[in-house]
Amino acid sequence: MAEELVLYTNPMSRGRIARWMLEEAGTPYRTELLGFGEPMKSPAYRAINPMGKVPAIVHGQTVVTECAAICAYLADAFPKAELAPALSDRGAYYRWLFFAAGPLEAAVSNKALGLVVPPEREMMIGYGSYSIVLDTLEQALSGRDFIAGGRFTAADVYVGSHLQWGLQFGSIEKRPAFETYAARLAERPAAQRASALDDAAAAQMKSPG
């Protein structure tokens, strides 16, 4: 019997990334919706994620938190969906997953907070500067349909989610390479299914019953 797979999420959160990845994986899962505040900080949920943040997945006995890790785990756990490249081709795949979870996320969050790294301190900050992070990602996407290798992978779910979110909320500059890539990913049936499920969940949480 297949192990149970549960997504702990809030539809107005990064949990949308995990939902998209689950839809790409094409495997059945159960969703537990958690409200912000007390439900996410309850001892029961903190036993799953001590951070009291979503998303998290529980697959049998395995708990995975952190969106990038969830994407990578699901790609490996459900290989039929072919969302992870062969080990010999994983250089770019790991690079961009970790780049987005580290430098990109930090640079974009700090930018949104108005925090600017003084130029003389850029060498000690992992992302250097917001502009070098965006330039690096733009270069990686130029002339390429997908971020790692020639086909769609879990790295596209994660990198693409950052870009879609950042372009929508103005925290990432609207550069043509970003917009083209984000638009291409938004056309994926799994992305659209995930959005529809989360939009419905958001409506349900607003007016329960």
Ligand X SMILES: N[C@@H](CCC(=O)N[C@@H](CS)C(=O)NCC(=O)O)C(=O)O
Out of 24, 25, 53, 107, the only residue in the binding site for ligand X (CB under 6 A) is 53
* Amino acid identity for residue 10 in this structure: N
**Which single residue brings its beta carbon nearest to ligand X?**
53
Using the rule CB under 6 A, give the single segment among 47-55, 75-83, 147-155, 179-187 that binds ligand X.
47-55
Cα atoms found within 13 Å of the Cα of residue 24, Cβ hemisphere only:
30
Out of 6, 27, 29, 36, the only residue in the binding site for ligand X (CB under 6 A) is 36
Using the rule CB under 6 A, give the single segment among 52-60, 78-86, 143-151, 164-172 that binds ligand X.
52-60
Number of residues that bind ligand X (CB under 6 A): 10
Asked if residue 67 binds ligand X (CB under 6 A), the reply is yes
* Closest distance to ligand X from the beta carbon of 102 (Å): 10
- DSSP string for 140-158: HHTT-SSSSTTS--HHHHH
Dihedral pair phi/psi, residue 58, rounded to 5°: -125, 120
| Torsional sign, CA 81, 98, 130, 109 | positive
Which two structure tokens, joined as six digits, stand for 78? 């459900």
Asked if residue 66 binds ligand X (CB under 6 A), the reply is yes
Distance from chain centroid for Cα 127: 18
Interface positions with ligand X (CB under 6 A): 13-14, 36, 40, 52-55, 66-67
